[in-house]
Amino acid sequence: MEGSRPPRVALVHDFLLDARGAERVFAVLCDLYPDADLFTAVYDERGTRGRFARRRVTTSWLQRLRPTARWFRALLPLYPAAVEGLDLRGYDLVVSSSSAWAHGVIPDEGAVHVCYCHNPFRYAWNAREETLGARGPIGRAVLGTVLARWRQWDWIAAQRVDTYVANSPTTRLRIARYLGREAVVVAPPVQTARFAPGPVGDRYVVLSQLMPHKRIDLAVRAFSQMGLPLTVIGQGPDLRRLRRLAGPTVEVVGHLPDAEVARRLSAARALVVTATEEFGIAAVEAQAAGRPVIALRAGGVRDTVIEGRTGTFYDEPTVASLCAAVRRFDPLSVDPDACVQNARRFDVAVFRAAFAATVEAAIRDARDAPVPARRPPAADRPRARGRRPGPGARRS
């Protein structure tokens, strides 16, 4: 960073089309850097519920196609070129928030690029076989080729990042294994102040994006079989299928406002987690509401749930294993204060301090790096066309 001039900061996110956990993290990054400009491949102000409406948002040329959260994945082969075409000249610090392609941006010469990685692109790496197995022979062949090329691009793009920050030890391991990079772990920010313990009801709760890889059908089948009350909160392409699977004791309510989600969590018997989450923000939110978690023993929940004190685990992603865990665990035996105290380890204030310190360390490391520069000059690097904001992009 040169002289006393305040650094120009660019924040980059994969896509801003809805308001999932990754977008909530990105919103906190926006608060941490209130003067930063925002960049993303595609943007929908309505889909993100106006969270970024007051910010300067620049999109890629893909914005002209006006993709929505329902079909933007069909453009998968185009995103690497689109994100590399974002014009980041003149920015001193680039912070990317990536679970797919945002880490592939090309910063200006001398800029520092810090990537907050939610997970390396799951469909190309840790969920590749599962993704291909869901397609027919022709679909597998076509998508297999796309994903093979994606992995090559992904690895090359990862080498341009100065510092990786992983959201959990699980993600740190994947970054090392798939991208060959070391990472610092900084847990995602959770707005624990939104939640508070309250009177406990008789319903268990699932809070998740309704995607096939989340395995929400496991909970729906288990609670339908046991005849126990379960509420599934969330939205996504699996919504209709889950409603068809639901027995009389299971309700799939779809999206709910934040205040209603907080109320439902505080009244829940327990939160049920069926996916292998990289971190699992919902599990921390439930504990902030004073409620325990029943989770698959995999991924990030192993770091956020204390077995026997703030929840319990089951070992296999099967109906039988989940049913056995529910039957043997008494949620009312858990001290709500213990859950709340555990959740506070992941509060927004904790994230802000840890992430800011990590960025400052990255800047110091870059300042001390030997010549030649870490990247070729911007003029020597190819850029795709379409640097100006497309329809729907906002400049303010």
The per-residue pLDDT for range 110-124, each reduced to its tens digit, is 999 999 999 999 878
CB-side neighbour CA atoms (13 Å) of 198: 14
- Integer Cα distance of 265 and 53 in angstroms: 28
**Model confidence at 396, in pLDDT bands (50, 70, 90)?**
very low
Lowest average pLDDT, out of 224-233, 289-298, 330-339, 370-379, goes to 370-379
Is the backbone of residue 234 left (phi > 0), alpha (psi -120 to 50) or beta? left
| Per-residue pLDDT, 371 | 54
CA angle 47, 50, 52 (to 5 degrees): 105
Average pLDDT rounded to a whole number, residues 339-367: 96
| Per-residue pLDDT, 380 | 42
What is the model's pTM? Answer: 0.84
The per-residue pLDDT for range 142-165, each reduced to its tens digit, is 888 888 898 999 999 999 999 999
Sheet containing 163-166, strands listed edge to edge, beginning at the edge strand earlier in sequence: 57-59, 37-40, 9-13, 93-98, 112-117, 163-166, 183-185
Is the pLDDT at 255 greater than 80? The verdict is yes
Nearest to 228 by CA among 251, 255, 253: 251
Q: In whole angstroms, what separates CA 85 from the centre of its chain?
A: 23
How many C-beta atoms lie closer than 10 Å to residue 311's C-beta? 27
Which segment, 125-134, 139-148, 267-276, is predicted with the most confidence on average?
267-276
| Per-residue pLDDT, 383 | 42
Of the two residues 241 and 133, the one the predictor is more confident about is 241
Question: 87 is written with which tokens?
Answer: 């014009």
Question: What does the mean pLDDT of the chain come to?
Answer: 90
Average pLDDT rounded to a whole number, residues 320-325: 98
Average pLDDT rounded to a whole number, residues 213-217: 95
Question: 339 is written with which tokens?
Answer: 């859950």
Question: 177 is written with which tokens?
Answer: 């294994």
Q: What is the largest CA-CA distance in the chain?
A: 67
Helices 258-267 and 281-288, axial angle in degrees (round to 10):
70
Cis status, amide bond into 372, omega within 30 of 0: yes
DSSP string covering 289-336: TT--EEEESSTTHHHH--BTTTEEEESSSSHHHHHHHHHH--GGGS-H
CB-side neighbour CA atoms (13 Å) of 255: 9
Q: What is the CA radius of gyration of the chain?
A: 21
- The percentage of residues in the chain with a pLDDT greater than 90, rounded to a whole number, is 75
The per-residue pLDDT for range 33-77, each reduced to its tens digit, is 999 999 999 999 988 988 899 999 999 999 999 888 778 888 888
DSSP string covering 226-290: HT--EEEE--STTHHHHHHH--TTEEEEE---HHHHHHHHHH-S-EEE-S--SS-HHHHHHHHTT
- Do 291 and 312 meet the contact criterion of CB atoms below 8 Å apart? no
329, amino acid identity: F
Question: 270 is written with which tokens?
Answer: 């327990």
Of the two residues 162 and 213, the one the predictor is more confident about is 162
Helix (H) or strand (E) holding 341: helix 336-343
| Three-state SS at 183 | strand
The domains of the chain, with CATH numbers, are 9-189+347-380 (3.40.50.2000), 192-345 (3.40.50.2000)
- Do 104 and 13 meet the contact criterion of CB atoms below 8 Å apart? no
| Per-residue pLDDT, 2 | 55
- Do 281 and 190 meet the contact criterion of CB atoms below 8 Å apart? yes
How many C-beta atoms lie closer than 10 Å to residue 357's C-beta? 12
| Per-residue pLDDT, 223 | 98
Tokens 């610092």, located at residue:
184
Nearest to 190 by CA among 307, 362, 302, 354: 354
Tokens 């329902």, located at residue:
70
Average pLDDT rounded to a whole number, residues 176-187: 96
Average pLDDT rounded to a whole number, residues 79-105: 96
CA angle 33, 39, 41 (to 5 degrees): 150
Instruction: Using the Cα atoms of residue 252, residue 225, residue 306 and residue 122 in order, give the sign of their dihedral.
Output: negative
**Model confidence at 8, in pLDDT bands (50, 70, 90)?**
very high
Nearest to 172 by CA among 279, 94, 306: 279
